[in-house]
Structure 1
Amino acid sequence: MAPRVLLVRHGDEAADDRVITWLAANGYEAVTRKPFAGDRLDDVGEVAASVIYGGLFDVFETAKYPFLLEEDHWIAQCLEKGIPLLGICQGCQQIAYHLGAWAGAPEREFFEFGYYPVEPSEEAGEFLQAPLVVTQAHYHTFDLPAGAVRLAGNSEYPNQAFRYGENVFGFQFHAEVTPAGFRRWQDSKAHVYGRPGVQDMQTQNRLMAAHDAAQARWFNGFLDSFLGQAA
């Protein structure tokens, strides 16, 4: 039986990102749940790993979005059972928030939407050995949870990636997003152009062409390690 990976999504975007592609290429079964649309997480059964994707929901607004409490319970289960867990953007903030850290909008707005460099921390080791330009789409951030190891950051957002324990990771950036996916974002997020920090479309396209291949190689290598061990 193929190992199953639970994908927790916060929107209805096409399932063509690099996580989906990696799972299909490596013989895994992707099980998608959308709690925001009423899907449950308590009937999933055994899984080898889980990925919580990004989204537009403020992670602290659990009264407004009760499904976030179910996702928080899922995070707790993963931690308790030692299930490898990756949180991306909102998912990253959810893990940090679950671990007791603050998450939300910084006092000074700086919207990373485009392709921005992140640099490895002193503790990054083999996770990231050199600066990397990655896909970004956020203006919220998080504090590093107690007990977590900071892996990457940049001047505007020092916390861009962390590890908690041996098999729980949070990425503020979107290395999973392909050029096709980002072009959809350029259309759906047209209203954010002009906000502080947002790159213009010409700059985004130029940086995408220059850096996406390296980002893909890095992320696929990360998945080889993260999900390869989960099998």
Structure 2
Amino acid sequence: MSAAPGRAPDRKPVLIVLHQELSTPGRVGRLLQERGHPLDVRRPRYGDPLPPTLAAHAGAVIFGGPMSANDPDAFLRREIDWIAVPLAERKPYLGLCLGARMLAKCCGASVQAHPEGRAEIGYYPLVPTEAGRGFAREIGQAWPSHVYHWHREGFTCPAGAEMLATGDDFPTQAIRVGPAAFGLQFHPEVTHAMLCRWTVRAAERLALPGAQDRVRQIEGRYMHDPQMVRWLDAFLDHWLALGDGASSA
């Protein structure tokens, strides 16, 4: 693919790990491409291998999916174990929803359902911690006040990691492990089309305790998504820059 105007044509690809046949990287994928990074899309669930090193990649993003990080499937175990590669090489890693819980599990934390069976599906408040406020200064952009969720499991903050943001029903919302690995419980990649598709194709989940109905979710998007766009734009610039000079050993 050709590079975006004004961008370097030889930027390394970003590894994109998806979990369903028709899943897309959404807005995250588009913004990475706009920055001149090709997308190396792989679906280990369907037999795609993961690279033994990220030396040829600018970073890696593992996206969400309907499965649990606790499921016994071999591909999930391989993905969780593989996260040790970007951690060891200090390369940019971003885990979104399931990908965040995989990062936590790789680092020895626990993943579990809400004790009362509650879900976060829709827009919910995000509260930065002291470390998170410092990170906002680091990237030059405040956290969004509300973020989009679609999950029924949470995770604990791994030992040695930084808790960057918290929430109500699921207290661990954003973590940083080492210099360049991040786990976000929420979905900054979701486009309007994705929200509409999810709320139609998985409409039965909107009846779960704590979930918001479709109308409230669409209203929430109009209210909160512009702030998310600004944050994600700043975050990705910072995240990609963390790979400069990272070890590929």
Give 1:57's aligned residue: 67
Q: Residue 179 of structure 1 contacts residue 212 of structure 1 at CA under 8 Å; is this kept in 2?
A: no
CA contact (8 A) 2:126 2:167 kept: yes
Aligned residues: 229
Match of 1:30 in 2: 39
Contact 1:120–1:131 (CA under 8 A) maintained in structure 2: no
In structure 1, the partner of 2:21 is: 12
Offset, 1:221: 1.1
What is the TM-score when the length of structure 2 is the normalising length? 0.87
Matched, 1:106 2:110: no
Give the corresponding residue for 1:85. Answer: 93
Distance 1:130 1:4 in 2: 27
- Asked whether the equivalents of residues 2 and 28 of structure 1 are also in contact (C-alpha less than 8 Å), the reply is yes
Report the TM-score when normalising by structure 1. Answer: 0.93
TM-superposition CA deviations, 1:118-139 (whole Å, max 9, x none): 1101111343445521110001
Supply the distance in 2 between the matched residues of 1:116 and 1:173 (Cα, whole angstroms). Answer: 9
Taking only aligned residues, the RMSD between alpha carbons, in angstroms, comes to 1.7
Runs of 4+ in 1 over 6 A off after TM superposition: none
Q: In 2, Cα distance between the equivalents of 1:151 and 1:195?
A: 27
How far apart are residue 150 of structure 1 and its match? Answer: 0.4
Aligned residue in 2 for 1:168:
181
Q: Secondary structure at the match of 1:193?
A: helix
Shift, 1:44, TM fit: 7.6
- Bigger drift between 14-23 and 34-43 goes to 14-23
Counting aligned pairs with the same residue, the percent is 36
Paired residue for 2:209? 196
Amino acid at match of 1:24: Q
Tell me if structure 1 keeps the 8 A contact 2:105–2:111.
yes
Q: Give the unaligned 5+ runs of structure 2.
A: 1-9, 137-141, 245-249
- 2:127 and 2:167 in contact (8 A); partners too: yes
> Which letter does structure 2 place at the counterpart of 1:219?
L
Which string of whole-angstrom CA distances, capped at 9 and with x for unpartnered residues, describes residues 168-223 of structure 1? 10000001111111111111210112210011111111111111111111111111
Correspondence for 1:75: 83
Q: Deviations over 1:139-172 (max 9, x none)?
A: 1000110001101111211100000111010000
Per the alignment, residue 145 of structure 2 pairs with 132
Question: Is residue 115–residue 207 contact of structure 1 (8 Å, CA) maintained in 2?
Answer: yes
CA–CA separation in structure 2 for the residues paired with 1:52 and 1:177: 14
Task: From the superposition, tell whether residues 48 and 131 of structure 1 become closer, same or farther in structure 2 (CA, over 3 Å).
Answer: closer
Q: Which of 209, 216, 219 matches 1:206?
A: 219
Aligned residue number for residue 115 of structure 1: 123
Match among 11, 17, 20 for residue 2 of structure 1: 11
Residues in 2 aligned to 1:25 and 1:118: alpha-carbon distance in whole angstroms: 27
